[in-house]
Chains A and B, each alone.
Chain A
Amino acid sequence: MNRIQTDVPGAPLVDVRGLCKSYGPKTVLDDVTLMIRPGEVVGLVGPNGAGKTTLIRILSGMSRPSNGEGSVLGRDVRSTSGDLPFMGLMVERPMFIETLSGRKNLELLFGIRGAVEPTVASDVLRRVGLDPHDSKPVRTYSLGMRQRLSLAQAIGERPRLVVLDEPTNGLDPRGIVEMRSLVRELADVDGMGVLLTSHLLQEVEAVCDRVILLHHGRAQHVYEPSTTLDSVVLVLEVASVEDVGRVASVETVDVVGSDGPTRMRIRVREAVPDVVRMLVMADVGIEAIHRDSAGLERAYMESVGA
Chain B
Amino acid sequence: MKQTLALIRMELARLFLSRRWFAAVAMWGLVGKLAADEVRSHAFNAGIEGWSVFDAHAALVNNMFFVGFLLLTTFVMIACDSLARDRETRLAHVVMARAGSRWRWWVGKAVPMVLAAVVFQVGVLGASLALAAYEGGEMTRKPSAFARGETGKQDVMAQLFFTPAHPGTDMLVREVGTSLYLSLGFTAIGMAVLALSARFPVSWLPGLASVGVVLLDRILGWFIHGSWYTWVSPSARLLEAMHSAAVVDDPLPLWSSLLWWVTLLVLSAIVGVRTLQRVDI
Q: Which secondary structure dominates where chain A touches chain B?
A: loop
CB closest residue in chain A, given B18: A99
Interface: B280 (CB within 8 A): yes
- Per the 8 Å Cβ criterion, residues 253-278 of B in contact with A are 277
Q: Find out whether the CB atom of B94 lies under 8 angstroms from the CB atom of A89.
A: yes
Chain B residues with CB under 8 A of A93 = 89-90
Q: Find out whether the CB atom of A89 lies under 8 angstroms from the CB atom of B93.
A: yes
- Which single member of B13, B97, B277 contacts A86 (CB below 8 Å)? B97
Interface: B99 (CB within 8 A): yes
Chain A residues with CB under 8 A of B93 = 57, 60, 62, 89, 91
Q: Find out whether the CB atom of A108 lies under 8 angstroms from the CB atom of B3.
A: no
Whole-angstrom distance between the Cβ of B135 and the nearest chain A Cβ: 33
If A64-B280, A84-B100, A85-B97 touch, does A108 touch B9 (CB 8 Å cutoff)? yes
The interface size of chain B toward A, counting residues with CB under 8 Å, comes to 29
Q: Find out whether the CB atom of A84 lies under 8 angstroms from the CB atom of B101.
A: yes
Interface: A164 (CB within 8 A): no
If A91-B90, A99-B18 touch, does A84 touch B280 (CB 8 Å cutoff)? no
Q: Find out whether the CB atom of B101 lies under 8 angstroms from the CB atom of A112.
A: no
User: Once the chains are docked, how many angstroms separate the CA of A109 from the CA of B18?
Assistant: 17
Interface: B6 (CB within 8 A): yes
Interface: B14 (CB within 8 A): yes
Interface: B98 (CB within 8 A): yes
Whole-angstrom distance between the Cβ of B220 and the nearest chain A Cβ: 34
Interface: A118 (CB within 8 A): no
Pull 11 A–B residue pairs with CB atoms less than 8 Å apart, ordered by A: A57-B280, A62-B281, A64-B280, A84-B102, A86-B98, A95-B89, A97-B13, A108-B9, A109-B10, A109-B98, A114-B6
Starting from the known contacts A108-B6, A153-B94, 9 additional A-B residue pairs (CB-CB under 8 Å) come to A63-B281, A83-B101, A85-B97, A92-B90, A99-B18, A99-B19, A100-B17, A112-B95, A113-B3
Interface residues of B (CB under 8 A from A): 2-3, 6-7, 9-10, 13-14, 17-19, 86, 89-102, 277, 280-281
